[in-house]
Amino acid sequence: MRYFLLLLVVMTGTAFSAEQSDVTVKAKPAAETTVICASPQEPTYTPPVNKVTSSPKSESLLTETSNVHITVYGQGVAPMTTTSPAQAYALAKRAAIADAYRLIAEKVKGVRVEGQDTIKNMIVKRSMVRTHVDAMIRQANIIETTFKDGLCEVEMEIVLSRSQFAL
């Protein structure tokens, strides 16, 4: 009788633990579902981060021993009301030189950019972008000038050395 009772207790315990394990197995998918629908605060999924790395080979740096050569190509157009091809060339060259100076200033000093978009009823009504360049440039050299079909192109170069920026 005593052994029977002990056997009964053992069997009941085993059945209870089996029932408990069944619940656990059934609850597992539910737990997974909860994880998927978890709130964003929980650190469940981390997207891969693309690290932006600069490529030093493509950029020339200003060092104590090496200078930086900046070459630009300015373009200018001859006005429609010119009396001779020589005048057209001269005027187009003036415009091209100013454009080349502008390009050098953009590269050396930078550009100030301002933008404004007006949107009404989810439709862009007006889009405006303003850029501004303001600089003093010294010792720029004209390398080559070409004139073809009313378009003058001036190749201009400036050499930057570290000593120019040293205090």
Partner 1 sequence: MRSRDGDRPLTLTICALIFLPHLWADEYIISYRAVVRDAIIVDEKLNVSRAMQKCEGRHTTSILLETGGSDDLHQIIAREHDTFFSLMQQSALHIDHHEKNIDATNQSHTILTMPPQCFTVDINQDLAKITALK
List of residues contacting partner 1 (CB under 8 A): 75-79, 90-95, 97-99, 101-102, 105, 126-142
3-class DSSP assignment, residue 47? coil
Q: Is 78 exposed, middle or buried (0-12, 13-18, 19+ CB in 10 A)?
A: buried
How many other C-beta atoms can be found within 10 angstroms of the C-beta atom of residue 96? Answer: 25
In the complex, the smallest distance separating the C-beta of residue 166 from partner 1, rounded to whole angstroms, is 18
Work out how close the CB of 104 gets to partner 1 at its nearest, in angstroms, rounded to a whole number. Answer: 8
Reduced to 3 states (helix: H, G, I; strand: E, B; else coil), residue 97 is helix
Residue closer to partner 1 (CB basis): 2 or 125: 125
Q: In terms of CB distance, is 32 or 117 closer to partner 1?
A: 117
Nearer to partner 1, 68 or 142 (CB): 142
> Token pair for residue 40?
């964003």
Report the distance separating Cα 48 and Cα 5, nearest Å. Answer: 61
| Closer residue to partner 1, CB minimum distance, 94 or 160 | 94
Give the largest Cα separation in the chain, rounded: 130
Least separation in angstroms between CB 137 and partner 1: 6
Minimum distance from residue 62 beta carbon to partner 1 (Å): 20
